[in-house]
Amino acid sequence: MVSSCGKKKEEVITQLNEPLPPLVFPIDNPIWKEKVELGKALFFDRLLSRDSTISCSSCHFPQFAYSDTIPISKGAHGRIGFRNAPALFNLAWKPRLFKDGGVRNLELQVLAPLLEPNEMDFGSEELLNRLEKSDEYISLFSKAFDSLPTLKLAVQALASFERTLIYNESKFDRFLRNEVILLEEELIGMRLFYSPELACSSCHKGVLFTDFQYHDIGMPPSEDVGRYRVSLDSLDKFKFETPSLKAVSLSAPYMHDGSIKDLRAVVDWYNQAAEVRKTKDKRIRALNLNSSEKDALVAFLNCL
Amino acid sequence: MKTWFPSVGLSLLTLLTMAMSCESTKEVKDSFIEIVPEATFGGTIEGFNNPNPINGSTDVLISELKFYLSKIRAVASDDREYALVDYCFFDFRNPDFEKYRVKLPEGVNIKGLRVNVGLDSTQNYSDPASFNQAHPLSAARGMYWTWATQYRFLLIEGKANQTSLIGSSTDQGISYHPGGNHLYVEDVFLPLNLGVGNGSTRTVMLKLDVNQWFNGISGTIDPLTESNVHAAPEDQALGKRFIENFSASMRLQ
């Protein structure tokens, strides 16, 4: 049990099965059950959008690794967003948020869709007014924080809930724990994935299958300049964060703009020579896989 | 047997000392200035929500005007600087942020203020959710860039058109939102002889000459063709010109 504001709060189990590393929570936002429950209620509540038409879960569906099934999600008033809604699994380990790394922690990330005109389009004052008028939320905030609703506490609760969205039971996770074996095709795909020739794992590395770095993989240029928007360094043009491949089979469509519809098409895309430009990562080159090798690679990706 | 006499003597001595020190302390009343920003055209004509010419062929109308000043210092006649306030926020549409009252240092002959335009890197790193809704750095001010976790320094919106055409369907919306540590403007000196505070509050007008935003120290900006500054990398050069022009457009009166 942990203590907060004089009342005992129920601890959230943070001991995870391998291969994930231990969970570490921010000092200024420790986790407990009542806080997570409040965050979960907020996450699924349409009250958080100006016109009460969408909740966080309207673009982050639990059954799809908390991602969306369309390239670019619609926000309040039917407005179109900016990038493909990312999967929300295993955010607890991410050093920065957003595909360009513009946001430095989960608590600040939570604010972005709430205030963004093309997403929930909510002013912080309006949000608080709604929460303060809700008996249900007054009760949930009281249980979680012994406090009336505040923006800071709402943000902490949402971030705490998102930190509990952990995916660690894929076939590959269980394979690493010697609980299952991989099929022959999946093993071939695994060898390809980790081979120096393909070098997939040089960016999609470690147990979370990401290096948390930013790379230009040669997607067609667009108005979205990626990391350049944040760093203002032209060498960062069209660089986006390496996405984790955990639960990747659930989070189609793919790429920062959701422009590739399925995993096979992603492998096809990498299989041909991508656009050449100064900022493009040198490791991105035509894979020259044959059809059965592509199938094997997709089979392995489906295990993640 | 208790000896109470020495302690009574000590108490009397203490009381006497206190009475003497009270008598010798003069009551000093604090002095304040109240900074009231005012947008003008050419220093005189009302510049907020009124269409006015900025050059021979273009009019602009400013309908939204918010900005941060930081590290506000009083500059004494001997050039010593006295920190007055870390930051303040002005919003022409919000009566709570129309003016800012600040205490002056005692007994100092003040010849002006020195300010920075925008927020310093520490202030710019703030978490807007950690402040109450009335705070200048709260998300409620509408100045926070959530996707970049930093603040806009200025937020100026309105419209522009050719002379006398504002209000027609051909209006060009203008929107200047420069921000980011690289656009922080430091050490703008605003001369005004405030003298030594006399225990009262003096109102000081902070005049912002809209003309100079578009034709100022860092060059000319045509609002019909250079109408937007946001966070995009390609906006940064214009953003720098705009915030430098804005900073140089300030006068105290």
What was the pLDDT predicted at B46? Answer: 85
Give the pLDDT band (50/70/90) at residue A15: low
Length of chain A: 304
Q: Report the percent of chain A where pLDDT is more than 70.
A: 95
Q: Are residues A117 and A222 in the same domain?
A: no
| Closest by Cβ to A232, choosing from B127, B129, B236 | B236
What is the distance in angstroms between the Cα of B133 and the nearest Cα belonging to chain A?
7
How distant is the alpha carbon of residue B191 from its chain centre? 15
Domain count, chain A: 2
| Distance separating the N- and C-terminal Cα atoms of chain A | 34
What was the pLDDT predicted at A1? Answer: 41
- Whether residue B2 is predicted with pLDDT greater than 60 in this model: the reply is no
Contact yes or no for B215/B153 (Cβ under 8 A) = no
Region B43-53: mean pLDDT is 85
- Note whether A124 contacts B: Cβ–Cβ < 8 A: yes
What was the pLDDT predicted at B26? Answer: 57
Domain that holds residue A233: 171-303
Nearest CA in chain B to A124: B140
Domain contains B104: yes
Q: Are residues A195 and A241 in the same domain?
A: yes
What does the pLDDT look like over B100-110, one tens digit per residue? Answer: 999 999 999 99
What are the backbone angles phi and psi of residue A93, rounded to the nearest 5°?
-100, 0
Nearest CA in chain A to B126: A108
Contact A232 B148 (CB under 8 A): no
Contact B138 A115 (CB under 8 A): no
What amino acid occupies position B241? R
Contact yes or no for A243/A86 (Cβ under 8 A) = yes
Q: Are residues A47 and A184 in the same domain?
A: no
Burial class from Cβ neighbours inside 10 Å (0-12, 13-18, 19+) for residue B119 reads buried
Domain count, chain B: 1
What are the backbone angles phi and psi of residue A63, rounded to the nearest 5°?
-70, -10
| Closest by Cβ to A124, choosing from B127, B133, B182 | B133
Q: Are residues A38 and A175 in the same domain?
A: no
Which of B147, B175, B236 is the best substitution to test chain A (most A C-beta atoms within 10 A)?
B147
Give the pLDDT band (50/70/90) at residue B192: very high
Using H for helix, E for strand and C for coil, what is the string for chain B? CCCCHHHHHHHHHHHHHHHHHHHHCCCCCCCEEEEEEEEEECCCEECCCCCEECCCCEEEEEEEEEEEEEEEEEEECCCCEEEEEEEEEEECCCHHHCCEEEECCCCCCEEEEEEEECCCHHHHCCCHHHCCCCCCCCHHHCCEECCCCEEECEEEEEEEEECCCCCCCCCEEEEECCECHHHCEEEEEEEEEEECCCCCEEEEEEEEEHHHHHEECCEECCCCCCCEECCCHHHHHHHHHHHHHHHHCEEEC
* Pairs of residues, one from chain A and one from chain B, whose beta carbons lie less than 8 Å apart: 62
Residue A171 neighbours by CB under 8 Å, 6+ apart: A180, A182, A186, A303
Which residues in chain B are contacts of A151 at CB distance < 8 A? 129, 133, 139
What are the backbone angles phi and psi of residue B190, rounded to the nearest 5°?
-120, 95
Domain that holds residue B114: 28-252
Nearest CA in chain A to B142: A123
Domain contains B8: no
Give the pLDDT band (50/70/90) at residue B55: confident
Which residues in chain A are contacts of B139 at CB distance < 8 A? 111, 115, 123-124, 151
Give the pLDDT band (50/70/90) at residue A195: very high
A126 or B178, higher pLDDT: B178
ipTM for this prediction: 0.82
Residue A238 neighbours by CB under 8 Å, 6+ apart: A216, A219, A221, A225, A226, A228, A277, A279, A280
Contact yes or no for A76/A53 (Cβ under 8 A) = yes
CA separation for the pair A31, A51 (Å, rounded): 31
Burial class from Cβ neighbours inside 10 Å (0-12, 13-18, 19+) for residue A187 reads middle
Q: How far is CA A108 from CA A111, A155, A170, B224, B246, in A?
A: 5, 8, 29, 35, 30
Q: Are residues A145 and A278 in the same domain?
A: no
Indicate which CATH number applies to the domain containing A48. Answer: 1.10.760.10
Contact yes or no for B82/B105 (Cβ under 8 A) = yes
Q: Are residues A225 and A90 in the same domain?
A: no
Which residues in chain A are contacts of B132 at CB distance < 8 A? 150
Q: Are residues A115 and A186 in the same domain?
A: no
CA separation for the pair A244, A212 (Å, rounded): 8
Q: Domain end: A113, A141, A163, which one?
A: A163
B10 or B66, higher pLDDT: B66
Q: How far is CA B93 from CA A57, A275, A281, B35, B99, in A?
A: 35, 49, 48, 16, 11
Query: Which tokens belong to A204?
Result: 């999609």
| Closest by Cβ to B139, choosing from A104, A107, A115 | A115
Q: Are residues A14 and A159 in the same domain?
A: yes
Contact yes or no for A157/A39 (Cβ under 8 A) = yes
Domain contains A214: yes
Q: Are residues A72 and A125 in the same domain?
A: yes
Q: Domain end: A100, A130, A163, which one?
A: A163
Q: Are residues A205 and A131 in the same domain?
A: no
The pairing of beta strand B52-53 with beta strand B172-176: unpaired
Domain contains A117: yes
What are the backbone angles phi and psi of residue A9, rounded to the nearest 5°?
-115, 150
Which of B121, B149, B236 is the best substitution to test chain A (most A C-beta atoms within 10 A)?
B149
- Whether residue A183 is predicted with pLDDT greater than 80 in this model: the reply is yes
- Bridge partners, residue B75, by sequence: B81, B112
What was the pLDDT predicted at B137? Answer: 96
- Whether residue B1 is predicted with pLDDT greater than 50 in this model: the reply is no
- Note whether A27 contacts B: Cβ–Cβ < 8 A: no
Contact yes or no for A253/A84 (Cβ under 8 A) = yes
Region B34-57: mean pLDDT is 88
Q: Domain end: A163, A190, A207, which one?
A: A163
Query: Which tokens belong to B252?
Result: 């105290």
Q: Are residues A49 and A71 in the same domain?
A: yes
Query: Which tokens belong to A78?
Result: 């039917």
The pairing of beta strand B154-162 with beta strand B172-176: antiparallel
Residues in chain B whose Cβ is within 8 Å of chain A:
127-130, 132-133, 138-140, 142, 144, 146-149, 180, 182, 231-233, 236
Which residues in chain A are contacts of B142 at CB distance < 8 A? 123
What are the backbone angles phi and psi of residue A277, rounded to the nearest 5°?
-155, 170
Q: Are residues A29 and A65 in the same domain?
A: yes
Q: How far is CA A277 from CA A216, A221, A286, in A?
A: 9, 10, 15
Which residues in chain A are contacts of B147 at CB distance < 8 A? 98, 100, 102-103, 112, 116
- Note whether A241 contacts B: Cβ–Cβ < 8 A: no
